[in-house]
Structure 1
Amino acid sequence: MGDENLGAVGMATVWEYLRGERSTIDGGVHGKVTLTKSQPQYAITGAGPTTGNLYVNLHWTARTTQRSSSQLRRRLLQPRLVMPVEPQTYQSEQTNVDLDLACMYELADGTTGVVQPLGQLFGDLQHPPYIKLSGDDQYGSTSGETMYINLEKKDQFKRLLIFVYIYDGTPAFHQTHAQIQIVPPSGPRLEINLEAREAAARSCAVMLIENKGGQLMVRREVRYVHGFQSDLDRLYGFGMQWQRGYKEQPGS
């Protein structure tokens, strides 16, 4: 199955390159697949028994914006008269962005829930929902945020919606370079880039993992919404009840 997938993606890569998309497979030991609109699906397990964990990692950096020194001075001084043209010198501006990695799940027995930093719902790897979030990275470090999915319990999963949201009071997705990496125990790692400049979006459904006849299939979604978890829930029909939540600040 892995070789068939690699071959299909390899053929699609040529057309994606010609259309300006960059779905690629690297030359590493297991390779890399970038899921795109034209190549959105990949089988991450076979139909037989599976061991190990699936690693889902979110990392991001803030986009750097350029403002001229004269623009900054004019904004601060609020001049009422026309100012003479000044030489343009530039400095970088970076704003911290707090992205959170999360997962809505529906298990085979109909149980639904969410794993997320809000409410400290970090999950459990050995007991339902068999999903565990490593922690909450509020500053976009190199390691980012990682979620573990116990593939030995794959038959317990019906569907998993991996999503990213921006915590209240911080900038939107257009101010970040964000990427999701999916690393199975064997085979190539998958990448999904969140590159759309959705200035008003607060949440993004990144991918859907579904159990198809005992095989877990991942499908790229990258659907931005202006709201939060309840809006994503309505979009995908998990049917949960939501209320306002807050995160503990470092050192509190």
Structure 2
Amino acid sequence: MPIDYTKRPGQPADSAPASPPAGAPAGGVNLSKVTLTKAAPRVSLTKAGSTGGTLRVHLAWNARPGQAPAPAGGGFLAKLKQAATGAAGDGAIDLDLGALYELADGSKGVVQALGNAFRDRGTGDPLVWLDGDDRRGGGGENLYVDLRDPSRIKRVLVFAFIYEGVPNWAAADGVVTLHPAQGPEVEVRLDEHDDRSPMCAIAQLVSDGREVSVQREVRYVQGGQQALDEAYGWGMRWRTGRK
């Protein structure tokens, strides 16, 4: 599988954000959640009063979808067929949350568990980082984006990748929820499925230096991270990496 770099920088001591304070978005509208759909795919975090602080992006999924039992008396050949179709074993699906990022200074990179690339490659406090790798789907995975200064970020493309298990997005039933420091949550459900590919671009954060918006993608790309890069014009060089 492709990877941009393989060394994990040390995370700062203050990388874990405080719990988001309660608060309503600007304009007096009291919404607890905004769900992005095909019909309404975009929301402005700035206009909703949700910029500033640290944005937490949470991926949850069903790691152990039910599996059909083996046919009675099927013997070795039946088990071999189940293995080929992903029905053997515990059927666990390991999703990885990650992001391609591009900063205002032109620097680009990937944040993901693959290759221990848990944070952006900046030398100071990170702007984009992961808190860990949940291989069993117990609590999901969290990606963080520092929105204290939106002028430092150009775009962040959030993606999910089926690292282990047969691609079965319907069974995984993934959902990404963006938790801003204040204002309503933003939800993107993976309610469209394409099992030909293990890679799905979920949502894109875009900043023009003043306003930050979230765009629903839910776009499946046949291939890995390099294919995703090419689909969105990131223009990075990739090499093989592993967890």
Task: Name the TM-score class by shorter chain.
Answer: 0.7 to 0.9
**Which residue of the partner structure matches residue 84 of structure 1?**
none
- Contact 2:199–2:221 under 8 Å retained in 1: yes
**Larger Rg: 1 or 2?**
1
- Cα displacement (A) at 1:178: 0.7
**Which residue of the partner structure matches residue 36 of structure 2?**
35
CA distance in 2, matches of 1:32, 1:216: 17
Indicate the structure with greater helix content: 1
1:59 aligns with 2:60: yes
Gaps of 5+ in 1: 7-28, 80-92, 248-252
**Which residue of the partner structure matches residue 76 of structure 1?**
75
1:139 to 122, 136, 139: 136
1:224 aligns with 2:223: no
Distance 1:96 1:217, change over 3 A: same
Q: Note the aligned Cα RMSD (angstroms).
A: 2.9
Query: CA-to-partner distance for each residue in 1:132-187, whole Å, 9 max, x for gaps?
Result: 1000001111x2100111111321101110011111x5221233111100011111
- Cα displacement (A) at 1:228: 0.7
1:191 aligns with 2:187: yes
Question: Which TM-score applies when normalising by structure 2?
Answer: 0.76
Query: CA-to-partner distance for each residue in 1:16-71, whole Å, 9 max, x for gaps?
Result: xxxxxxxxxxxxx7511111000100111359995310010001014634535xx5
- Cα displacement (A) at 1:128: 6.2
**Secondary structure at 2:196's aligned position in 1?**
coil
CA distance in 2, matches of 1:109, 1:78: 57
Question: Which TM-score applies when normalising by structure 1?
Answer: 0.74
CA distance in 1, matches of 2:156, 2:45: 13
- Cα displacement (A) at 1:5: 11
1:182 aligns with 2:190: no
CA distance in 2, matches of 1:103, 1:5: 32
- Contact 1:107–1:129 under 8 Å retained in 2: no
CA distance in 1, matches of 2:181, 2:113: 25
Gaps of 5+ in 2: 1-23, 79-88
- Cα displacement (A) at 1:108: 0.6
Distance 1:183 1:78, change over 3 A: closer
> What residue identity is the alignment partner of 1:171?
V
- Contact 1:98–1:140 under 8 Å retained in 2: yes
CA distance in 2, matches of 1:154, 1:75: 59
Percent of matched pairs sharing the same residue? 38
1:245 aligns with 2:230: no
> What residue identity is the alignment partner of 2:215?
R
**Which residue of the partner structure matches residue 22 of structure 1?**
none
Distance 1:198 1:49, change over 3 A: closer
Count of residues in correspondence between the two structures: 209
> What residue identity is the alignment partner of 1:170?
G
